[in-house]
Structure 1
């Protein structure tokens, strides 16, 4: 029993460090469109940003929050098409959920 508490403490310490390390803030620049209206991938409207990373297209699905909701209408992401996307720069934390990259945005702005 005495040996179990130090092992548990070490496990908790390292798991906390891993979570803090994994939640790193990144900035992504790419083409924004609606996952429902333009990509036909989701049943409800959701912002996506497709970025070019090392010659490969990577799609980030934006988590629903106030920043994402404001950009959806304010930057006309919902009205954008695959052929005419909105160019954006988004900052936030990325994590993987169900095999998809999900960005929780803290800032989204249009770029030229």
Structure 2
């Protein structure tokens, strides 16, 4: 294939790799910001002897989603599957703790 043909084909594509990379990096930075704020809130709640189980459940749910997505995209690395399963167990235990503290069971 000639350089001109490759250039024309790339220009006809609807997706822009640079834009996709920027979006990916923006989401990553956004989640890092959210995680830092949630960790700060967890610290503040611990300082005032309040439970932070709900915030931990949210962080674990995000971690599980990321791990499972990485595993489904990169099947060779079983570490992603293991971390996804562990985070899911943490989410279930966190929900059980929350329900117990609310007197549901």
**TM-score range normalised by the length of the shorter chain:** 0.3 to 0.5
TM-score (norm 1): 0.31
Query: Which structure exhibits the higher relative contact order, with contacts defined as CA atoms closer than 8 Å and separated by 6 or more residues?
Result: 1
TM-score (norm 2): 0.32
